[in-house]
């Protein structure tokens, strides 16, 4: 286990410095979306930084995700990600000068608007996903992921599915009572969260 060869061959620390503010925002988004996954990812990166305390590129790593893949101007055929576990979210951050695109998830019949500035959390090992076209200029995707084998080697557990208690514990009793009275909330909770 250690930094990838591509990171060791190049001086990537200036790039890490440039993307750190955005990575902090993405880490915060993960902490709200899947707090347990965020905490386990942070522990993993902290342990890796302790093990490689004399490796500058490891110390500069800007994310709780153990991998970031940059996809530039490329169609992405339908695929499932191999490195994580089913309940693990990947974060796909779209950017560039292009005007419009869609992320397709055929397993659930979903099409997501995937324009620059969009971030989509997806269980990439579970759901096939792809981007086949875009209109306009340059398209970039920063795909963030965690590797199950990294967590295994560090003795860390796989996280479980996010459920509504991850969110409801932060809501006021008044709001929860109002939502409980709404049949759409109950249907949504029973169909998607249990």
Query: pLDDT of 111-162, one tens digit each?
Result: 999 999 999 999 999 999 999 999 999 999 999 999 999 999 999 999 999 8
Please provide the average confidence, as pLDDT, over all residues in the chain: 88
State in Å, rounded, how far the first CA of the chain is from the last one: 36
Round to whole Å and give the CA distance between 79 and 73: 17
Q: DSSP for 2-51?
A: ---HHHHHS--HHHHHHHHHHHHHHHHHHHHH-HHHHHHHHHHHHHHHHH
What pTM, to 2 d.p., does this model score? 0.83
Whether residues 149 and 139 share a domain: the answer is yes
- pLDDT tens figures, 16-47: 999 999 999 999 999 989 999 999 999 999 99
136 and 187 co-located in one domain = no
Check whether residue 149 and residue 184 sit in a common domain: no
| In a shared domain, residues 181 and 192 | yes
Q: Which domain holds residue 176?
A: 163-194
Domains in the chain, number? 2
If asked whether residues 131 and 176 sit together in one domain, one would say no
């Amino acid at each position: 286990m250690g930094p990838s060869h591509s990171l060791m061959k190049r001086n990537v620390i200036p790039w890490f410095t440039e993307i750190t503010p955005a990575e902090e925002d993405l880490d915060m988004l993960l902490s709200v979306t899947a707090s347990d996954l965020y905490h386990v990812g942070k522990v993993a990166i902290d342990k890796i930084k302790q093990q490689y305390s004399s490796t500058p590129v490891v110390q500069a790593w800007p994310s709780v995700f153990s991998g970031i893949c940059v996809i530039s101007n490329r169609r992405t055929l339908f695929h499932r990600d191999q490195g994580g576990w089913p309940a693990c979210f990947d974060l796909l951050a779209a950017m560039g000068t292009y005007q419009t695109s869609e992320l397709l998830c055929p397993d659930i019949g979903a099409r997501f608007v995937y324009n620059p500035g969009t971030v989509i959390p997806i269980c990439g090992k579970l759901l096939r996903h792809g981007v086949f076209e875009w209109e306009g200029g340059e398209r970039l995707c920063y795909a963030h992921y965690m590797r199950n084998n990294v967590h295994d080697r560090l003795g860390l557990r796989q996280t479980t599915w996010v459920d509504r208690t991850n969110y409801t514990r932060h809501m006021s009793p008044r709001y929860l009572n109002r939502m409980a009275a709404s049949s759409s909330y109950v249907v949504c909770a029973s169909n998607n969260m249990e």
